[in-house]
Structure 1
Amino acid sequence: MVDFSSPEYIQFFRHSSPYINAHRGKTFVLMLSGEAVQDNNFANTIHDIALLNSLGVRLVLVIGARPQIDERLAHSKITCAYYKNIRVTDKNILEIVKDAVGNVRTKTEAMLSMGLANSPMHNARIRVISGNFVTAKPLGVLDGIDFQHTGEVRRVDHEVIHQQLDQGYVVLLNCLGSSPTGEVFNLAAEDVATQTAIALKAEKLIAFGKAQGIYTHSGQLLKAMSPSKAREVIQTQENEEALRLMQSALAACAANVKRSHIISHSIDGALLQELFTRDGSGTLITHAGYEEVRQASIEDIGGVLELIEPLEEQGILVRRSRKQLEREINQFMLIERDGMTIGCASIHPFTDDSAELACFAIHSDYRGQSHGDQLLTFCEEYANSHGIKNLFVLTTRTAHWFLERGFQPAKVADLPEEKQALYNFQRNSKVFVKKLK
């Protein structure tokens, strides 16, 4: 049972408010595979979708039916041919596909229509609409294989879908498409979701898979990747589902969908964690700087103050007034993670080709993850590019950290005369210097 009065819950709710504001009015395309529909967690996923709808997110759901089709084929003792992991759909198989897709769509609509008291769907009043919004074309003949009624997306009627979203509907799409000649084609849900996100110029494409996200060979979850990094990872990806989802994410990013997410359909709350927490739950692929190190500007003052004030209160950092920070903000370097300042440092140059590295701070939630090294490297490169030969630091609590990174013990007398005059003997800070290349 959640303790709604707990500090952790209150903090989570407060920290989620920027995301609530950022997501309101935006268009998200959610791709739910047939495996997601079968999963025991599907009801929870539907509840979270209802919550997004209530928060003003414009939602398009694309529902797959791969395992449901396979079950019906097995029950009918029909063998289905595949080529390059693509189903060959003849006339008999198409009828089974239509039956499975219709069943999945009906189940999804029913769950989105729930409004039981004492449930997360109470008074949700979600309006769901489906239609012939996707025009398909035959996949044709590939390497001599005729795919018959297997198709691909030809066009998405984005204008009509936007009209429905403007009226507050959740738009539900499936993996069937019709051609101008009246034929029906079996489509890959990934293709429908990707092309829909592109046509709508959606803010996000969110794909649900079995795994939490994309993993390295050593089992490490990749939390965020640029498209170029994702293309590297995809070369060695052996998991078929992960490969499909990454290909969809990359295609969306290439067509200017800002962010593509790959999350688990089996983890309760994965969607909310991905959208309303800074670290998310799965893998994000984006062109934008999800995490970047850069020089600060005047707009960053609030974030820097929020980071350093707790450390000032503990006496770890020297207290700075807002006016002082405004004067010195261009001397600050920072690490920004999804809009939040999680690390900062300032470089104060002196006339003797030396500079002080000051106000070096990493947010407590992100220590021990190499962010300090990342920030220090950036500061050293910045100092080098500005002709600084020696970088010195005054510290009371982190002497060993700087020693381990090439700084050498020094004396107050080794500091520039201007800094010696300002040295606070009451703090008794230790002095360390590093010669830059």
Structure 2
Amino acid sequence: MNNTQAFVDWFRQSSPYIHAHHGKTIVITLTGEVVESDNFRHIIHDIALLNSLGIRLVLIHGARPQIQQRLNLRGLESHIHNNVRITDVDALEAVKDASGSIRCSIEAMLSLGLPNSPMHGATIRVTGGNYVTAKPMGVHQGVDFQHTGSVRSINAEAITQQLNCGDIVLISPLGYSPTGEIFNMPAEDLAMQTALAIKADKLIYLDNSEGIFDAGNQLVAQLSIAEAKQLTALSDHQQHVINAAIEASSQGIERVHIISNQIDGTLLRELFTRDGCGTMVYADSYDVTRKASINDVGGILNLIRPLEQKGILVRRSREHLETEIEQFVVIERDGMVIGCAALYHYPQDSLAELACVVTHPEYRGGERGERLLHWVESEAKKLGMTQLFVLTTQTAHWFREQGFEPADTAQLPTQKQQLYNYQRNSKVFIKPL
């Protein structure tokens, strides 16, 4: 019974994400390591499920370990420079062999429809073609990459036509030139260029890394472009993926996800749960979310004063705000504070309070409130808090939409209960972390 109820609860909680993703276009990168993993069959089943939910999918696979295996069998050396393979004539044969084999395997698995299998009854069409026109990468730092190429153009119209028919588009890491040459291409770069060409809603990198971790070995759930550019101590592969994610986000892909192939249900968790299971890089070219400093007091006061005058927020003096400025986070746009929120924690109760969530009237509707909430949730988790509560008089619906549930004042920390203003009669909402 408990398992059944947990499933029902999860399904209900996932429904907003199902609605949000229906009809959207997602590019998914499957590295060669993913294809070799024990979890790959489950990943394919989940891809089929995404297709059945009306999500338009483009799959781009890699083949690095498979190429290496073929080179080893032929007694040939492998040459890598800056995490990119140097593809000579012999290596190109291994690339074609590996890519063709992987493509056949993926198509076969997406055609599976046996009774008692997760894909029973599914009818999935997988299409491909010469969608990618390539050019030689050329010589970099004195190194001739030979038959390694980069994208010259993507036939976005042809890909879109297949997506409109409900097909899954599968693209191998190969490109073709007008002169009939074949070029080996890094799958991460190809995925980024494809996502940009077809104006995809999301780009997902699915590989061996679980995401990006901070200095304390904690998974970083979200990164703005500015934050991603500051990352250090990454492996060559992770740096390559992050660079592609930054470029994709900078040029219009709002969400780029980096998730692990080792987690069962990794795609479903990332797309249909609130917290996800990897790292998301998001476009934030003009807005910067950061901890507040004493220099932000004036900007915060300008934001909250109109709401204080309407009785929506409790009045804070400048002196009070200055003493609590370390509890605040702000969103800054071109030097102007356009959003703020505060976090107060009560360690003895494992509870944290979200307070003073405000966005500038001219900048509402851009999910900035959600970004402030996510920042506060992340900080509260780092502090070991298990629940987040809020007191509100006029914005209950917004908090309900963000996963908060009605609660009683008795559920507040003892210290907060003693300070509760019964004349304001604020409603209490609590959200598990």
Give TM-score, length-normalised by structure 2.
0.70
2:113 aligned with 1:115, yes or no?
Answer: yes
State the match for 2:194 in structure 1: 196
User: How far did 1:291 drift?
Assistant: 9.2
Letter of the structure 1 residue corresponding to residue 21 of structure 2: H
User: What's the secondary structure of 2:252's corresponding residue?
Assistant: coil
1:39-81 deviation line (CA, Å, top 9, x unaligned): 0000000000000000000000000000000000001000122
Seen in structure 2, the aligned counterparts of structure 1 residues 181 and 17 have a Cα distance that, compared at 3 Å, is same
User: How far did 1:244 drift?
Assistant: 1.8
Letter of the structure 2 residue corresponding to residue 202 of structure 1: A
1:156-210 deviation line (CA, Å, top 9, x unaligned): 1111100100001000001110011111000000111000011111110000121
| Residues 207 and 261, structure 1, Cα contact 8 Å, conserved in 2 | yes
2:300 aligned with 1:285, yes or no?
Answer: no
1:115-136 deviation line (CA, Å, top 9, x unaligned): 0111111111110001000110
User: How far did 1:238 drift?
Assistant: 2.9
| Residues 82 and 236, structure 2, Cα contact 8 Å, conserved in 1 | no
Seen in structure 2, the aligned counterparts of structure 1 residues 246 and 401 have a Cα distance that, compared at 3 Å, is farther
Q: Larger Rg: 1 or 2?
A: 1
Seen in structure 2, the aligned counterparts of structure 1 residues 131 and 22 have a Cα distance that, compared at 3 Å, is same
Letter of the structure 2 residue corresponding to residue 266 of structure 1: Q
Paired residues for 1:70-109 under 5 Å: 70-109=68-107
2:394 aligned with 1:398, yes or no?
Answer: no
| Residues 64 and 189, structure 1, Cα contact 8 Å, conserved in 2 | yes
State the match for 2:18 in structure 1: 20
State the match for 2:51 in structure 1: 53
Letter of the structure 2 residue corresponding to residue 87 of structure 1: R
Name the CA distance, whole Å, in 2 between partners of 1:42 and 1:290: 37
Paired residues for 1:201-212 under 5 Å: 201-212=199-210
State the match for 2:212 in structure 1: 214
State the match for 2:171 in structure 1: 173
Name the CA distance, whole Å, in 2 between partners of 1:196 and 1:157: 9
Letter of the structure 1 residue corresponding to residue 205 of structure 2: A
Name the CA distance, whole Å, in 1 between partners of 2:288 and 2:107: 35
Q: Find 2:255's aligned residue among 245, 256, 259.
A: 259
Seen in structure 2, the aligned counterparts of structure 1 residues 274 and 78 have a Cα distance that, compared at 3 Å, is same
| Residues 209 and 241, structure 1, Cα contact 8 Å, conserved in 2 | no
Name the CA distance, whole Å, in 2 between partners of 1:272 and 1:260: 15
Q: Find 1:250's aligned residue among 238, 246, 250.
A: 246
2:272 aligned with 1:276, yes or no?
Answer: yes
| Residues 153 and 195, structure 1, Cα contact 8 Å, conserved in 2 | yes
Seen in structure 2, the aligned counterparts of structure 1 residues 330 and 206 have a Cα distance that, compared at 3 Å, is same
User: How far did 1:367 drift?
Assistant: 5.8
1:283-341 deviation line (CA, Å, top 9, x unaligned): 01112699999xxxxxxxxxxxxxxxxxxxxxxxxxxxxxxxxx8668799979xxxxx
Name the CA distance, whole Å, in 1 between partners of 2:244 and 2:340: 33
Give TM-score, length-normalised by structure 1.
0.69
User: What's the secondary structure of 1:59's corresponding residue?
Assistant: strand
| Residues 341 and 356, structure 2, Cα contact 8 Å, conserved in 1 | no
1:92-123 deviation line (CA, Å, top 9, x unaligned): 21111100110011111100111011111111
| Residues 224 and 290, structure 1, Cα contact 8 Å, conserved in 2 | no
Letter of the structure 1 residue corresponding to residue 241 of structure 2: L
Name the CA distance, whole Å, in 2 between partners of 1:423 and 1:141: 70
Number of residue equivalences: 337
1:341-374 deviation line (CA, Å, top 9, x unaligned): x975469xxxxxxxxxxxxx999999655599xx
1:254-291 deviation line (CA, Å, top 9, x unaligned): 11101000000111101100000000011011126999
User: What's the secondary structure of 2:135's corresponding residue?
Assistant: strand
Name the CA distance, whole Å, in 2 between partners of 1:173 and 1:273: 24
Name the CA distance, whole Å, in 2 between partners of 1:135 and 1:346: 52
| Residues 341 and 355, structure 2, Cα contact 8 Å, conserved in 1 | no
| Residues 209 and 242, structure 1, Cα contact 8 Å, conserved in 2 | no
Name the CA distance, whole Å, in 2 between partners of 1:290 and 1:343: 23
The range that moved more, 215-224 or 12-21, is 215-224
Name the CA distance, whole Å, in 2 between partners of 1:69 and 1:220: 33
User: How far did 1:145 drift?
Assistant: 1.8
1:347-402 deviation line (CA, Å, top 9, x unaligned): 9xxxxxxxxxxxxx999999655599xx99xx9xxxxxxxxxxxxxxx87435479
2:171 aligned with 1:156, yes or no?
Answer: no
State the match for 1:62 in structure 2: 60
Name the CA distance, whole Å, in 1 between partners of 2:288 and 2:268: 18
User: How far did 1:143 drift?
Assistant: 2.1
Letter of the structure 2 residue corresponding to residue 36 of structure 1: V
User: How far did 1:5 drift?
Assistant: 6.0
Structure 1 unaligned residues grouped into runs of 5+: 294-326, 337-341, 348-360, 380-394, 403-408, 413-418, 425-437
The range that moved more, 236-245 or 16-25, is 236-245
Percent identical among aligned pairs is 45
Letter of the structure 2 residue corresponding to residue 263 of structure 1: I
User: What's the secondary structure of 1:202's corresponding residue?
Assistant: coil
Seen in structure 2, the aligned counterparts of structure 1 residues 366 and 56 have a Cα distance that, compared at 3 Å, is farther
State the match for 1:356 in structure 2: none
Seen in structure 2, the aligned counterparts of structure 1 residues 364 and 151 have a Cα distance that, compared at 3 Å, is closer
Seen in structure 2, the aligned counterparts of structure 1 residues 268 and 140 have a Cα distance that, compared at 3 Å, is same
Letter of the structure 2 residue corresponding to residue 29 of structure 1: V
Structure 2 unaligned residues grouped into runs of 5+: 292-309, 316-338, 343-351, 358-372, 393-408, 426-433
User: How far did 1:82 drift?
Assistant: 2.3
Name the CA distance, whole Å, in 1 between partners of 2:159 and 2:84: 28
Name the CA distance, whole Å, in 1 between partners of 2:239 and 2:424: 58
Name the CA distance, whole Å, in 2 between partners of 1:290 and 1:50: 37
